[in-house]
Amino acid sequence: MGIDLGGIAKGYAIDMAAEALKEYGVNSGLIDAGGDLRVIGLNRQGRSWRVGLRHPLAPSRLLLSILVEDEAVATSGNYFRYFTVDGRHYGHLLYPRTGTPAESALSATIIGKNAMRADGLATAAMLHREGAFAFINQVSEIEGIVITQQTRHPGKVSVHVTSGLKDRVELLDRSAELER
């Protein structure tokens, strides 16, 4: 077993890159570090950036898009980094008290001004089990999305969105249910 700074290191690097670009007079851009990102200003058309979130049950497809402006977006989930034993997936995110894989939410996404904070909070939300969405709602100055598998339809997902994102999220998968 190893412990690393993977929960915040990518976010920190993104923030440093954004600050460096701003110092050089860049007022519009997108920094992407393996899915966690930060946008600077508006896009070329003078509008908010539209970024996509992958479907955790089918990562080659987009589940939804979010409009962001001068914000960071960080997602944590167990759908890319996992191993399988006897047909069961074991993700890389572990509950600190038990050492067992986090299994409640499929993914948690945080939108905020700081990529390092968003990165850490996305991972923390995944470790709050069924309370992931409540955890996000308690943290100031962020918005969030929690994706869970529907119990009655195992191949479908529910998308839980904080109130500040309700007009900024577009569902791209018609089989998913948006919970606001």
Q: How far apart are CA 75 and CA 109, in angstroms?
A: 4
Cα gap 57→49, rounded to integer Å = 25
What are 123's two structure tokens? 């991972």
Q: What is the pLDDT of residue 7?
A: 62
> Residue 171's pLDDT is what?
96
**pLDDT given at position 142:** 97
The better pLDDT of the pair 103, 138 is held by 138
CB 57 within 8 A of CB 157: yes
Pairing of strands 36-40, 49-55: unpaired
Query: What amino acid is encoded at 4 in this protein?
Result: D
Q: Spell out the domain ranges in the chain.
A: 9-179
The reported pLDDT for the residue numbered 5 is 54
pLDDT at 18: 97
Which pLDDT score is estimated for 128? 76
**In whole angstroms, how far apart are CA 112 and each of 37, 100, 157?**
11, 29, 24
Counting other chains too, the contacts that 160-165 makes at CB distance below 8 Å and 24 or more residues apart are: 160/133, 162/133, 162/136, 162/137, 165/66, 165/111
Which of the four pLDDT bands, split at 50, 70 and 90, describes residue 94? low
Query: For residue range 76-85, what is the model confidence (pLDDT) as tens digits?
Result: 876 655 557 6
CA distances from 172 to 8, 139, 177 (A): 29, 27, 11
Q: What are the C-alpha distances in Å from 160 to residues 22, 43, 83, 149?
A: 33, 27, 27, 11
Vertex 173: Cα angle to 171 and 179 (nearest 5): 50
In which band, very low, low, confident or very high, does the pLDDT at 90 lie, cut at 50, 70 and 90? low
* 23 has pLDDT over 80: yes
110 — pLDDT class (breaks 50, 70, 90): very high
Tens of pLDDT, residue by residue over 54-74, are 998 888 999 999 999 999 999
User: To the nearest whole percent, how much of the chain has pLDDT over 90?
Assistant: 59
Q: What is the pLDDT of residues 27-45, one digit of tens each?
A: 999 999 987 999 999 999 9
Contact 58, 46 (CB under 8 A): no
Would you say 71 and 38 are in contact if contact means Cβ atoms under 8 Å apart?
yes
- What pLDDT shows up at residue 88? 63
CATH class of 9-179: alpha beta
Element (H, E) at 16: helix 9-23
Output the pTM of the full model.
0.87
